[in-house]
């Protein structure tokens, strides 16, 4: 596992420690982290502060996103996939998609390369959270 996914996992764990949903995201450009974030829907009482959105906000305006890579511990949902497509991010690396399939086909249909690492650590983090917090998880995914 590379340093960027490790940083995304650290973000996810930070979110969990704050009482939130354990999903983390990192934005990389020129082999350096330029943004990072984690799901803060619970902490911020904001329904759209998903990890990827928090990460993009923290990266700030960078002009062009075509040479960036977005890492996320979980396959991005349609909200976050929409941001990926809107900003022209061409590559997304997800930690896993077993606990939530996300919007992979949507991103790929818009020319985004999507890699699913299928990492046991990411799956365990989410499956434990979902088992312990089913109502909160269902709220997060709109069920």
Q: Could you report the per-residue pLDDT of 47-84, keeping only the tens digit for each? A: 999 999 999 999 999 999 989 999 999 999 999 999 99
CATH topology classification for 3-141: Cytidine Deaminase; domain 2 (3.40.140)
Q: Could you report the per-residue pLDDT of 82-130, keeping only the tens digit for each? A: 999 999 999 999 999 999 999 999 999 999 999 999 999 999 999 999 9
**139 labelled catalytic:** no
| Res. 1: pLDDT tops 70 | no
| Res. 23: pLDDT tops 70 | yes
Domain ranges of the chain: 3-141
> Per-residue pLDDT averaged across 28-48, rounded?
95
3-state percent helix, strand, coil for the chain, nearest multiple of 5: 45, 20, 35
Q: Which residue has the higher pLDDT, 138 or 97?
A: 97
> Is residue 107 within 8 Å of residue 82, measured between CB atoms?
no
pTM for this structure? 0.95
Tell me the backbone φ, ψ of residue 70, rounded to 5 degrees: -100, 125
Pick the catalytic residue from 3, 52, 96, 139.
52
């Amino acid at each position: 596992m590379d340093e960027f996914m490790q940083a995304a996992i650290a973000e996810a764990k930070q979110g969990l420690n704050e009482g939130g949903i354990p999903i983390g995201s990192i934005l990389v450009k020129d082999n350096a982290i330029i943004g990072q974030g984690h799901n803060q829907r619970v902490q911020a009482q904001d329904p759209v502060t998903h990890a990827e959105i928090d990460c993009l906000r923290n990266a700030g305006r960078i002009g062009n996103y075509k040479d960036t890579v977005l890492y996320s511990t979980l396959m991005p949902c349609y909200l976050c996939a929409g941001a990926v497509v809107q900003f022209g991010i061409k590559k997304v690396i997800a930690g896993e998609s077993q606990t939530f399939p996300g919007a992979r086909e949507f991103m790929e249909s818009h020319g985004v390369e999507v890699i699913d690492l299928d990492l046991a650590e990411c799956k365990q983090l989410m499956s434990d959270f979902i088992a312990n917090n089913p109502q909160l998880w269902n709220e997060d995914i709109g069920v």
